[in-house]
Amino acid sequence: MTTRTVLVINSGSSSIKYQLVDPDSGASLASGLVERIGEETGAITHRHDGEKFELVEPVPDHGFGLAEVLRIFAEQGPDLDEANIVAVGHRVVQGGHYFSGPALVDDDVVAKIEELVPLGPLHNPAHLKGIEVARRLLPDVPHVTVFDTAFFQDLPEEAARYGLNRQIADKYSIRRYGAHGTSHHFVSGEVSALLGRDDLKQIVLHLGNGASASAVVAGRAVETSMGLTPLEGLVMGGRTGDIDPAAVFHLARVAGMGIDEIDRLFNRESGMKGLAGDNDMREVWKRIDAGEQEARDAMDIYLHRLVKYVGAYTAVMGGLDVLTFTAGIGENDDRVRAELCGRLAHMGIRFDAGANAVRARGPLTISTPESSVIVMVVPTNEELSIARQALTLI
């Protein structure tokens, strides 16, 4: 079979991440990052065939950045003509109530992503720039958008709606949209495929710098921890996760803080960073091992929140078959996995310490055969998921 590839693009406000994916084998043929777009000096890193190519130069805008990427592909390989790109897949964070799956980009899709900017003010404008320049520079292939919210677009109403005044909620589109959906969709699908069952009650814990949990029954998401924005839910690298919204009123009234200041405090200066002094779990463990009580307390707060979500989602689903860890912490931090499973022993979870200590690149089962719940580690691959979803439309 001739190779076919999908170019996956994740365009941020000052960066473009890209990956050339073979959707059939799952291989990544090249990947890279354009950074510091619009700043005095930018940088482009391109990886291909185990080689890393780096270029430091001003990148005034996204159009220039992507044109440079195409030039670097021509110079450093792989040759994009030979790669047979059949689609460009664009990651989009906020698809609102419009998109429950991938969409073939046309003017209407672009207009809807634009309309959703108030719900994704940091991300959607940056995605629109990426889509615009990619369509211009690669006009002969179909472009497909894959939304982080799509997997959760179909959440049961009782899970998606807050206890907020209905008129206000509807007028301002306030509901739970979730995020990380591409990862939860991919990982829960991998688990079903690996176990050969499509009737599973699953919880997926996506624990990266951002972190979210989802409950999935027979392939359909029924709950997720992120809400109107990614702030809700688990304790994260820099985000509070769940917090009484009255803390906002209190900080405004008592501390005289402005909305933007509180936004920054909750989204960037809290979580593990604000509790333990560092958002990187490896550093938090170092501090714990050095005897820092604040770091240990932060870890306990992090784990406690996870226990609450696993318990709540098990109750929502009326049981649990598989608990899966993924993303930076979920895939690499065996101590977080061990401590969480220890706290869930009352649910019949029996944990295999030997299997948990294995550093595998692929999926791993870390529960024993006696465990009432299968516990797995499954690496997420959002680029591959975007590539495969894009293919479904062409």
Query: Alpha-carbon distance 92 to 104, whole Å?
Result: 13
Binding segment toward ligand ADP, per CB under 6 A, in 72-80, 203-211, 297-305, 309-317: 203-211
Looking only at residues 164 through 183 of this chain, which bind ligand ADP when binding is defined by CB under 6 A? Answer: none
Under rule CB under 6 A, residue 210 binds ligand ADP = yes
Instruction: Rule CB under 6 A: say whether 233 interacts with ligand ADP.
Output: no
Taking the least distance from each CB to ligand ADP, the nearer of 5 and 212 is 212
**Site for ligand ADP contains 282 (CB under 6 A):** yes
**Choice between 93 and 217, CB closer to ligand ADP:** 93
Task: Name residue, tokens 């959906």.
Answer: 181
Q: Which is nearer to ligand ADP, 201 or 337 (CB)?
A: 337
Among 89, 120, 230, 237, binds ligand ADP (CB under 6 A): 237
Query: What's the token pair of residue 152?
Result: 């959760």
Which of these segments, 159-167, 207-215, 294-302, 315-323, binds ligand ADP (CB under 6 A)?
A: 207-215
At which residue do the structure tokens 């917090």 appear? 243
Give the residue nearest to ligand ADP (CB). 328
State in angstroms the smallest separation of the CB of 208 from ligand ADP.
2
* Residues within window 343-382 making contact with ligand ADP, judged by CB under 6 A: none
Q: How far is CA 346 from CA 303, 343, 352, 367, in A?
A: 15, 8, 16, 14
Identify the bridge partners of residue 33 per DSSP, sorted by sequence position: 17, 45
Q: Which of 209, 268, 307, 355 binds ligand ADP (CB under 6 A)?
A: 209
Binding footprint of ligand ADP, residue count (CB under 6 A): 13
Contact range with ligand ADP by CB under 6 A, out of 111-119, 260-268, 275-283, 311-319: 275-283
One residue of 42, 65, 102, 208 binding ligand ADP per CB under 6 A: 208
> What is the closest distance, in whole angstroms, from the C-beta atom of residue 281 to ligand ADP in the complex?
4
The minimum distance between CB 235 and ligand ADP, in angstroms, equals: 12
In the window 315-334, what residues touch ligand ADP (CB under 6 A)? Answer: 327-329, 332-333
Beta bridge partners of 375: 323
For the chain, report the end-to-end CA distance as a whole number of angstroms: 18
Using CB under 6 A, which of 132, 280, 321, 339 touches ligand ADP?
280
Q: Among 44, 133, 222, 281, which residue sits at the site for ligand ADP (rule: CB under 6 A)?
A: 281
Binding segment for ligand ADP (CB under 6 A), chosen from 13-21, 82-90, 145-153, 273-281, is: 273-281
| Active-site residue set | 148
Closer CB to ligand ADP, 279 or 314, in the complex: 279
Least distance from C-beta 292 to ligand ADP, angstroms? Answer: 16
3-class SS letters over the chain: CCCCEEEEEEECCCCEEEEEECCCCCCEEEEEEEECCCCCCEEEEEEECCEEEEEEECCCCHHHHHHHHHHHHHHHCCCHHHHCEEEEEEEECCCCCCCCCCEECCHHHHHHHHHCHHHCCCCHHHHHHHHHHHHHHCCCCCEEEEECCHHHCCCCHHHHCCCCCHHHHHHCCCCCCCCCHHHHHHHHHHHHHHHCCCCCEEEEEEECCCEEEEEEECCEEEEECCCCCCCCCCCCCCCCCCCCCHHHHHHHHHCCCCHHHHHHHHHCCCHHHHHHCCCCHHHHHHHHHCCCHHHHHHHHHHHHHHHHHHHHHHHHHCCCCEEEEEHHHHHHCHHHHHHHHHHCHHHCCCECHHHHHCCCCCCEECECCCCCCEEEECCCCHHHHHHHHHHCCC
Q: Which amino acid is at 286?
A: K
CB of 234 to ligand ADP, least distance (A): 12
Q: Smallest distance, Å, CB 212 to ligand ADP?
A: 10
Closest by CA to 175, choosing from 165, 160, 164, is: 160
* Smallest distance, ligand ADP to C-beta of residue 91, A: 12
Stretch near ligand ADP under the rule CB under 6 A, chosen from 14-22, 186-194, 279-287, 312-320: 279-287
Q: What is the closest distance, in whole angstroms, from the C-beta atom of residue 182 to ligand ADP in the complex? A: 12
Query: Where along the sequence are the contacts to ligand ADP (CB under 6 A)?
Result: 208-210, 237, 279-282, 327-329, 332-333
